[in-house]
């Protein structure tokens, strides 16, 4: 049965048993303390107090014994005065005893004491009256009877004291019994905890530590042996090293697959671009020139002029596609120079002024001050901005707002950087396709070549920077260009 239980379950069972034993011991101790509190509280509040009151009652009675005899001998009324004081003290003590009495048998004894004391006082007062009247013989005879009541009261007081002494002794016996029971429970709990602790130690040593030691003694991940106290640490290092190796291998494999796919695409695009360049671009240029000449010489109607404009626009679109293919397959070499990125932004806006107006786009430039100069290719950087602005206009369709923000800061590991953000109020980009958006030939437009953003990302990366997209569907899109502020001698093409 024990072997069928998993190691995890065994450890939890033993720990649960240890916890249960510990909690049970704690609860028993708490219960015992409450029991002892209740026991001693009852003992002190009732029985001890009642015993003390009974002793006080007995003392008050004893002090009344000789005063009448003294009065009989010398006739001094001062003895009768002291007798009255002790009678009052007896009444007070009797009242205390009655207040502390709850059991019916105790109340019966107290009632008997009070009854005997009343009779004792009545006869005692009669003796005093005989003495005062000079009837000494009658007083002496009655005095003998009074002594019987006196000793009867003493017996009752002693019986009352014995009752409470017995209760105190019984409480002491109960306390000893509970203490023995608690010692037995505590001893059993201790031995149970020792057994469970030993069982847990055996499980840990035989089923966890020894296998770990065997595994650790084979090496610590670097081929060296380990000391007997470093097994867990060595195994942890080995597992961590294996996980890191797996992660690195996975990343390298994914990168290799991506590079292989990219290389295949580039090879295909190179062949395709070369064919397009030789087969299409030359005749396309001739068509564009002829259309330009015809547009200046022909007298066209409104319908014909509209068709002529559509043909010209479509030819221009084809030319842009061919140009994108050529740039992707044979990217031009960067012509680095010191340039102000703010000037490049202004040039891109000036170049696209009419196109932005045709889309009715509201363009707002947020610029606190001119950005610092950086080493860059202004034409290539301008192409990136033009691409992003055109994409924003096409995404919004018509109207909408484009916000261009410029700022500078520090970003690790690039250090000091300039940041240009292009934010539009279009429909945004679904999260599922954001990572694919920069891949070659991926496009969300029916007539797009899928190369614009790929070329823009490549240009920014060749400048040693980043091109990032932040977007939420229905909330527009923000493209962020981050470029390092590098000195000429420190610039290295990515």
Per residue, what are the HEC states of 387-427? HHHHHHHHHHCCCCEEEEEEEEEEECCCEEEEEEEEEECCC
Token pair recorded at residue 419: 């940041």
> Do 326 and 338 share a domain, yes or no?
no
Rounded CA separation 486/414 (Å): 9
In a domain, 438, yes or no: yes
219 located within any domain = no
Q: Are residues 195 and 265 in the same domain?
A: no
Residue 323 and residue 341 in one domain: no
Coil vs helix vs strand at 66: coil
Q: What is the CATH number of the domain that holds 186?
A: 1.20.120.1730
User: pTM of the prediction?
Assistant: 0.40
Number of domains the chain is built from: 3
Q: Which neighbouring-strand residues pair with 403?
A: 364, 423
Co-location of 138 and 253 in the same domain = no
Same domain, 36 and 178: yes
Residue 216 lies in a domain: no
Strand partners, 484: 417
121: tokens are: 């006082």
Q: Quick one: CA torsion of 166, 172, 173, 176, rounded to 10 degrees? A: 180
Owning domain of residue 431: 334-490
Which has the closest alpha carbon to 412: 491, 470, 484?
Answer: 484
Give the Cα separation of 146 and 140 in Å (integer).
10
Closest residue by Cα to residue 33 from 179, 171, 172: 179
Q: Pick from 300, 330, 360: which residue ends a domain?
A: 330
The C-alpha atoms of residue 90 and residue 223 are separated, in whole angstroms, by 97
Helices (H), 443-485: 452-462
Query: CA-CA distance, 87 to 345, in Å (whole number)?
Result: 117
CB of 71 closer than 8 Å to CB of 128: yes
Specify if 69 maps to a domain.
Answer: yes
CA distance 409 to 464: 16
Give the separation between CA 152 and CA 411, rounded to whole angstroms: 106
Q: Which of 178, 208, 238 is the last residue of a domain?
A: 208
Based on the domain organization, do 368 and 482 belong to the same domain?
yes
Cis, peptide link before residue 413, omega less than 30° from 0: yes
CA atoms within 13 A on the CB side of 344: 26
Within a domain: residue 215? no
**Which residue carries 């029985």 as its tokens?**
47
What CATH number does the domain containing 423 carry? Answer: 3.30.565.10
Q: Is 447 inside a domain boundary?
A: yes
Give which of 239, 231, 238, 233 is closest to 209, Cα–Cα. Answer: 231
Residue indicated by tokens 């005899």? 69
Same domain, 298 and 321: yes
**Is the domain of 407 the same as that of 482?**
yes
Q: What is the pLDDT of residue 321?
A: 65
In the prediction, which pLDDT does 3 show? Answer: 64
* Pair (325, 354) in one structural domain: no
Regarding whether 347 and 293 lie in a shared domain, the answer is no
Structure tokens at 322: 């061919």
> Can you give the pLDDT at residue 339?
92
140 assigned to some structural domain: yes
Mean pLDDT in order along the chain per 10 residues (494 residues): 66 75 72 64 65 79 74 77 83 83 81 84 82 78 80 84 80 77 78 80 74 64 48 66 76 75 64 60 68 72 76 71 60 81 91 86 91 90 89 85 92 89 89 76 62 83 90 88 74 46
Q: CA 326, 330, 336: angle at the middle one, nearest 5?
A: 115
Q: Are residues 64 and 172 in the same domain?
A: yes
* Residue that is written with structure tokens 């000429």 in the block: 488
Record the tokens describing residue 259, joined without a space. 């590079």
**Residue at 218 is within a domain:** no
Residues 339, 324 share a domain: no
Element (H, E) at 449: none
Give the end of a domain, one of 311, 330, 349.
330
């Amino acid at each position: 049965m024990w072997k069928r239980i998993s190691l995890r379950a065994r450890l939890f069972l033993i720990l649960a048993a240890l916890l249960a034993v510990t909690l049970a011991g704690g609860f028993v101790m708490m219960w015992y303390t409450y029991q002892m509190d209740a026991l001693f509280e009852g003992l002190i509040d009732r029985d001890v107090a009642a015993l003390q009151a009974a002793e006080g009652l007995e003392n008050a009675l004893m002090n009344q014994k000789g005063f009448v005899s003294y009065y009989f001998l010398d006739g001094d009324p001062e003895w009768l005065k002291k007798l009255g004081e002790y009678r009052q003290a007896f009444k007070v003590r009797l009242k205390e005893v009655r207040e502390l009495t709850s059991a019916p048998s105790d109340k019966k004894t107290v009632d008997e004491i009070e009854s005997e004391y009343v009779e004792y006082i009545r006869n005692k007062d009669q003796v005093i009256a005989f003495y005062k009247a000079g009837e000494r013989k009658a007083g002496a005879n009655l005095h003998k009877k009074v002594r019987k009541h006196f000793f009867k009261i003493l017996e009752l007081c002693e019986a009352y004291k014995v009752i409470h002494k017995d209760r105190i002794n019984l409480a002491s016996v109960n306390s000893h019994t509970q203490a023995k029971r608690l010692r037995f429970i505590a001893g059993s709990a201790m031995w149970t905890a020792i057994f469970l602790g030993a069982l847990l130690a055996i499980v840990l040593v035989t089923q966890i530590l020894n296998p770990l030691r065997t595994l650790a003694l084979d090496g610590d991940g670097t081929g060296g042996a380990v000391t007997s106290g470093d097994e867990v640490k060595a195994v942890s290092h080995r597992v961590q090293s294996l996980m890191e190796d797996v992660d690195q291998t996975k990343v390298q494999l994914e990168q290799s697959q991506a590079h292989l796919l990219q290389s295949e695409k580039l090879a295909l695009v190179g062949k395709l671009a070369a064919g397009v360049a030789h087969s299409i671009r030359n005749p396309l240029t001739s068509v564009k020139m002829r259309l330009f000449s015809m547009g200046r010489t022909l007298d066209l109607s409104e319908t014909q002029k509209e068709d002529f404009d559509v043909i010209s626009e479509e030819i221009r679109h084809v030319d842009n596609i061919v140009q994108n293919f050529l740039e992707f397959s044979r990217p031009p070499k960067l012509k680095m120079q010191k340039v102000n990125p703010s000037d490049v932004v202004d040039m891109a806006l000036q170049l696209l002024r009419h196109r932005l107006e045709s889309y009715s786009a509201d363009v707002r430039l947020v610029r606190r001050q001119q950005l610092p100069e950086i080493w860059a290719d202004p034409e290539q950087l301008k192409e990136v901005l033009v691409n992003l602005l055109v994409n924003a206009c096409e995404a919004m369709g018509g109207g909408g707002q484009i916000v261009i923000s410029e700022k500078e800061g520090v970003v690790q590991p690039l250090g000091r950087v300039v940041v240009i953000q292009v934010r539009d109020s279009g429909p945004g980009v679904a999260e599922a396709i954001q990572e694919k958006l920069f891949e070659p030939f991926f496009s969300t437009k029916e007539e797009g070549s899928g190369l614009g953003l790929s070329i823009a990302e490549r240009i920014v990366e060749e400048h040693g920077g980043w091109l990032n997209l932040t977007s939420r569907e229905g909330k527009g899109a923000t493209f962020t260009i981050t470029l390092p502020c590098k000195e000429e001698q420190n610039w290295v093409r990515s």
